[in-house]
Amino acid sequence: MNLTVIDHPLARHYLTVLRDQETAPEEFRNAARRLTYSLVMEATRRVPLEKSRIQSPLEETAGYELGSVAAVAVLRAGLGMLDAVLDLIPEVKVGFAGVQRNEETAEPMEYYAKMPNLEDASVLILEPMLATGGSLSWAVTKTKESGARDVTCLCVVTAPEGVKRMYEDHPDTQIVAAALDRELNDQYYIVPGLGDMGDRLFGTF
């Protein structure tokens, strides 16, 4: 299985805030950012380190620096996770993947893609909702076309259908998520889920 569901009290707390329909957009954005910190910590567990020697106030000692990391935000909901990545990895390269879902077929429709060079980077794809898997699979394909070889997807909530598709389309890609929910409903929304994350982030109901 290429899915890791983080199990931490803080992650459960912030996921609960996101699920609650009474959570206002400002509080929702804050909770999304704070939950993403936990996802980033897990997702970067395998990022290569470069060893060096540094001088502490007392003596010379070993130091470590992260190798190249890139983040690709799937528009628009992925923007709700990007600030947390920038907080933790200020030198991260950032790309954007614009895709919207056809409401009848649930298939992705591309409208924008802008990627940095990803050949030597550990790539984090920010896609909060893994429903059918169409949008995320498309985004992973786009990063691979830009040279990515090490790809990890950060999701808030996933559905079994989307996880299955990702395993079939991109078995070499890891997924780090806060929850694996029950199923998709007949409108292809994750249940219990948290609604439309983009709308809830930006108050566009």
State pLDDT tens for residues 42-78.
Answer: 999 999 999 999 999 999 999 999 999 999 999 989 9
Asked whether the bond before 19 is cis by omega within 30 degrees of 0, the reply is no
Report DSSP letters for 54-107, one per residue.
EE-SSSEEEEEEE--EEEEEEETTTHHHHHHHHHH-TT-EEEEEEEEE-TTT--
2: which 2 tokens? Answer: 């290429």
Give a yes or no: residue 114 inside a domain.
yes
Do the strands 129-130 and 3-5 form a parallel or antiparallel pair, or are they unpaired? unpaired
| Residue 59, in any domain of the structure | no
The pTM assigned to this predicted structure is 0.92
Which residue range(s) make up the domain with 88?
A: 3-47+66-202
pLDDT averaged over the chain? 93
Alpha helices (runs of H) in the chain, residue ranges in sequence order = 9-19, 25-43, 79-88, 134-145, 160-169, 197-202
Q: Report which of residues 102 and 151 the model is more confident about.
A: 151
Residue 58 lies in a domain: no
How far apart are alpha carbons 55 and 81 in whole angstroms? 34
Band of pLDDT at residue 204, cut at 50, 70 and 90: confident
Give the list of residues 6+ apart from residue 156 with CB closer than 8 angstroms, or none. Answer: 15, 18, 32, 35, 39, 81, 128, 129, 177, 178, 179, 194, 197
| pLDDT tens-digit series, residues 12-49 | 999 999 999 999 999 999 999 999 999 999 999 999 99
| pLDDT at residue number 103 | 66
What is the distance between the alpha carbons of residues 67 and 153, in angstroms, rounded to a whole number?
18
Lowest mean pLDDT, pick from 11-15, 53-57, 103-107, 163-167: 103-107
pLDDT in tens, 115-138: 999 999 999 999 999 999 999 999
Number of domains in the chain: 1
Predicted local confidence at residue 125, as pLDDT:
98
Whether residue 166 lies inside any domain: the answer is yes
In a domain, 57, yes or no: no
Place of tokens 């109901």: 205
Question: 100: pLDDT confidence band, cut at 50, 70 and 90?
Answer: confident
pLDDT band (50, 70, 90) for residue 190: very high
pLDDT at 107 over 90: no
Specify the CATH number for the domain of residue 15: 3.40.50.2020
Torsion angle of C-alpha atoms 68, 87, 75, 3, degrees rounded to 10: 70
Catalytic residues: 101, 105, 196, 199
pLDDT at 1: 59
Give buried/exposed letters for 104-117 (b at 16+ CB in 10 A, else e). Answer: eebebeeeebebbe
pLDDT of residue 181: 97
